[in-house]
Amino acid sequence: MISVQQINKSFGQKHVLKDVSLDIPEGETLAIIGRSGSGKSVLMKHIIGLMQPDSGRVFVDGVNINDISYAELRRVRQHFGVLFQGGALFDSMNSFENVAFPLRTFTSMNESEVRNVVQECLSMVELEDVGLKMPSELSGGMQKRVALARAVALRPRYILYDEPTSGLDPETSNTIDELIKNLANQLNVTSIVVTHDMHSVLNIADRAAFIYEGRMHWTGTMDELHKSKDEILTAFVTANEYKIGV
Partner 1 sequence: MLRNTPAFILNPLQALGRYSQLLFHAFGAIPEFGTYRKNLWEQMVRIGVESLPIVMMAAAFSGAVTTVQTSYQLVFPLIPKGIIGAIVVPSMILELGAVVTGFILAGRVGARIAAELGTMRVTEQIDALEAMGLNSIGYLIVPRVVAGIVMFPVLYVAACFVGIGGGMLVGDLGGFVPIGEFVDGAREFFQPFDPLFGVIKSLVFGFTITSISCFKGYYTKGGAEGVGRATTQAAVASCVFLLLADLVLAVILL
Residues that bind partner 1 (CB under 8 A): 45, 48, 50, 70, 74-78, 80, 82, 84-86, 88-91, 101-102, 105-106, 154, 160
Query: Residue 110 or residue 223: which is nearer to partner 1 going by CB?
Result: 110
In this structure, the number of other CB atoms found within 10 A of the CB of residue 99 comes to: 29
Minimum gap (Å) between residue 120 Cβ and partner 1: 18
Query: Residue 69 or residue 227: which is nearer to partner 1 going by CB?
Result: 69
The helix-helix angle for 111-124 and 170-187 (nearest 10°) equals: 130
Minimum gap (Å) between residue 156 Cβ and partner 1: 10
Query: Residue 90 or residue 137: which is nearer to partner 1 going by CB?
Result: 90
In whole angstroms, what is the distance from residue 1 CA to residue 68 CA?
17
Query: Residue 1 or residue 73: which is nearer to partner 1 going by CB?
Result: 73
In whole angstroms, what is the distance from residue 135 CA to residue 92 CA?
8
Going edge to edge, which strands form the sheet with 63-64? 14-24, 2-11, 55-60, 63-64
Query: Residue 61 or residue 178: which is nearer to partner 1 going by CB?
Result: 61
Query: Three-state SS for 58?
Result: strand
Minimum gap (Å) between residue 124 Cβ and partner 1: 18
Could you please report the per-residue DSSP string of 172-225? HHHHHHHHHHHHHHHH--EEEEEES-HHHHHHH-SEEEEEETTEEEEEEEHHHH
Beta strand 190-195 with 29-33 is parallel
Minimum gap (Å) between residue 115 Cβ and partner 1: 18
Query: Bridge-partner residues for 3, per DSSP?
Result: 23, 59
Minimum gap (Å) between residue 1 Cβ and partner 1: 19
In whole angstroms, what is the distance from residue 238 CA to residue 246 CA?
9
Minimum gap (Å) between residue 102 Cβ and partner 1: 5
Beta strand 158-162 with 80-83 is parallel
